[in-house]
């Protein structure tokens, strides 16, 4: 008998479990309203449900083609043409994946070698660091500076070097709500070309912007189509986070690499939901207008709720989160505050520190998701009202 401890790889010790998913578990345990994890608690569009049911009843229940259902890829190409202005060949430039989460992991594993550096903006969506590490590469962080989460040109320039292989941009941004400006994207494009770096853009919130801001895809900037991988999916725009359908748009040579990795990671994405994805891509343009309207109303209502509760906020420019400042509540850390919130107030939020490398930088912040029904927001309003008392005690 060998009683020595098993020798296991060290890579997974370099990151922790997802705090966002942990907060959902806590929300369930304490019967709290879950404003932590980023998913809508309302219905997806009816045509998508019907198409998914029809696909199952029509026996589309076996493996889809590895690269993605032909009709779905065609529909994605058509939608990206009218919305983003990108001309895409569905046979050479699109890979359908298990959510944009797998799209990012497959892309990084396809393009990175050990020792390569990948630039990430901080605060970051918490998957990116582990994704880069699991691909054997090294994350290099560039700060977005509060309160407006602005970039410092000199800091960004200084992050690029001979080891830089890729940069990940998420706009509209989770958790800050930042929508990158044309100037910021222009600077990133210039640096990518100067240093021969690949841009990977997570555009999952592309249809959720506020105050007249418009989503701009980095791939459409001069010289960028050949060096940009666009990552997207059905989860947020069509309110189907459980379907796990994402897609990657990339130049043909990069697509070939991504498809290989995707094949060995997943074989294919779920067949009936890809069939239903055609219905999603073919929704009339008015759908996106109404979605924008819906989220504008939700943002307005939720900002009122937070203001009434004494939480300081900066209105997000896009996406469906508020990255709120809880510095006035007298808690030492965001984690203490979040624990109080979930156990005593009955609302789950995500501690800000999970979006930063150094926990102390996130101690003033928590992230709330407002992609919720009117009824959920009203229930949250009632509970969050208790916070005013806490504020009085602290000040
Ligand atoms: N990218 C960002 C920025 C997100 O906020 C999320 C989910 O919250 C994802 C990706 C995950 O998307 P998917 O459901 O397509 O895997």
Q: Smallest Cα–Cα separation from 144: which of 314, 334, 25, 385?
A: 314
Determine which residue's CA is closest to atom 7 belonging to ligand 1. Answer: 38
Q: Are strands 164-170 and 117-122 parallel, antiparallel or unpaired?
A: parallel
Residue 246 Cα: closest atom of ligand 1: 15
Q: How far apart are CA 196 and CA 242, in angstroms?
A: 37
**Cα(67) to centroid(ligand 1), Å:** 20
Cβ < 6 A, ligand 1 pocket = 38, 99-101, 125, 170, 174, 202, 204, 233, 235, 241, 246
**Cα(100) to centroid(ligand 1), Å:** 6
Residue 100 Cα: closest atom of ligand 1: 15
Query: Nearest 10 degrees: CA dihedral of 257, 259, 261, 265?
Result: 170
**Cα(244) to centroid(ligand 1), Å:** 10
Integer angstrom CA distances of residue 96 from 138, 149, 188: 26, 32, 27
**Cα(21) to centroid(ligand 1), Å:** 12
pLDDT value of residue 17: 80
**Cα(55) to centroid(ligand 1), Å:** 25
**Cα(300) to centroid(ligand 1), Å:** 23
Which residues lie below 8 Å from residue 201, measured CB to CB, with a gap of 6+?
168, 169, 170, 171, 217, 218, 219, 228, 229, 230, 231
**Cα(204) to centroid(ligand 1), Å:** 7
pLDDT value of residue 21: 83
**Cα(85) to centroid(ligand 1), Å:** 23
pLDDT value of residue 393: 64
Name the region of 313 (left: φ>0; alpha: ψ -120 to 50; beta: rest): beta
Which pTM was predicted?
0.95
pLDDT value of residue 392: 62
pLDDT value of residue 192: 98
pLDDT value of residue 314: 87
Mutate to test the pocket of ligand 1, among 126, 235, 265, 277 (most ligand atoms within 8 A of CB): 235
Can you read off the two tokens belonging to residue 165? 């292989």
pLDDT value of residue 144: 97
Q: Smallest Cα–Cα separation from 320: which of 202, 180, 214, 176?
A: 176
Write out the chain's pLDDT in tens, 395 residues. 788 988 888 888 888 888 888 888 999 999 999 999 999 999 999 999 999 999 999 999 999 999 999 999 999 999 999 999 999 999 999 999 999 999 999 999 999 999 999 999 999 999 999 999 999 999 999 999 999 999 999 999 999 999 999 999 999 999 999 999 999 999 999 999 999 999 999 999 999 999 999 999 999 999 999 999 999 999 999 999 999 999 999 999 999 999 999 999 999 999 999 999 999 999 999 999 999 999 999 999 999 999 999 998 989 999 999 999 998 888 999 999 999 999 999 999 999 999 999 999 999 999 999 999 999 999 999 999 988 877 666 66
Q: How far apart are CA 77 and CA 249, in angstroms?
A: 9
Residue 233 Cα: closest atom of ligand 1: 15
Mutate to test the pocket of ligand 1, among 34, 104, 215, 236 (most ligand atoms within 8 A of CB): 236
Query: What 3-state DSSP class applies to 169?
Result: strand
Residue 245 Cα: closest atom of ligand 1: 15
Residue 205 Cα: closest atom of ligand 1: 3
């Amino acid at each position: 008998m060998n009683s020595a401890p098993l020798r296991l790889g060290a890579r997974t010790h370099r990151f922790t479990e997802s705090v966002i998913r942990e907060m959902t578990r806590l929300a369930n345990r304490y019967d709290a309203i879950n404003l932590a994890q980023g998913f809508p608690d309302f219905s997806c569009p009816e045509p998508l449900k019907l198409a998914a049911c029809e696909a199952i009843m029509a026996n589309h229940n076996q493996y889809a083609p590895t690269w993605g259902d032909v009709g779905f890829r065609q529909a994605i190409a058509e939608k990206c043409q009218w919305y983003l202005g990108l001309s895409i060949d569905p046979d050479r430039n699109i890979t359908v994946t298990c959510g944009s989460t797998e799209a990012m992991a497959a892309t990084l594993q396809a393009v990175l070698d050990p020792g390569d550096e990948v630039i990430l903006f901080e605060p970051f969506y918490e998957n990116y660091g582990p994704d880069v590490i699991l691909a054997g590469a090294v994350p290099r962080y560039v700060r977005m500076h509060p309160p407006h989460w602005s970039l410092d040109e000199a800091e960004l320039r200084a992050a690029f070097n001979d080891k830089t292989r890729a940069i990940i941009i998420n706009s509209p941004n989770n958790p800050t709500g930042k929508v990158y400006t044309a100037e910021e994207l222009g600077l990133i494009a210039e640096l990518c070309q100067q240093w021969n770096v690949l841009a990977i853009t997570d555009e999952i919130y592309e249809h959720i912007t506020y105050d007249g801001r418009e989503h701009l895809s980095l791939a459409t900037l001069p010289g960028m189509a050949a060096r940009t991988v666009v990552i997207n999916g059905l989860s947020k725009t069509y309110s189907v986070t459980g379907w796990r359908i994402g897609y990657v748009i990339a130049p043909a040579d990069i697509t070939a690499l991504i498809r290989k990795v995707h094949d060995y990671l997943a074989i294919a994405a779920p067949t009936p939901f890809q069939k239903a994805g055609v219905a999603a891509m073919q929704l009339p343009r008015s759908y996106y207008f109404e979605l924008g309207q819906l989220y504008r109303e939700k943002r307005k209502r939720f900002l009122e709720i937070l203001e009434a509760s004494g939480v300081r906020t900066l209105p997000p420019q896009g996406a469906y989160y508020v990255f709120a400042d809880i510095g006035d509540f007298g808690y030492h850390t965001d984690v203490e505050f979040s624990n109080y919130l979930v156990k005593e107030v009955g609302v789950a939020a995500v501690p800000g520190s999970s979006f930063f490398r150094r926990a102390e930088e996130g101690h003033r912040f928590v992230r709330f998701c407002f992609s919720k029904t009117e009824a959920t927001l009203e229930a949250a309003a009632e509970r969050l009202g208790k916070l005013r008392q806490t504020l009085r005690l602290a000040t």
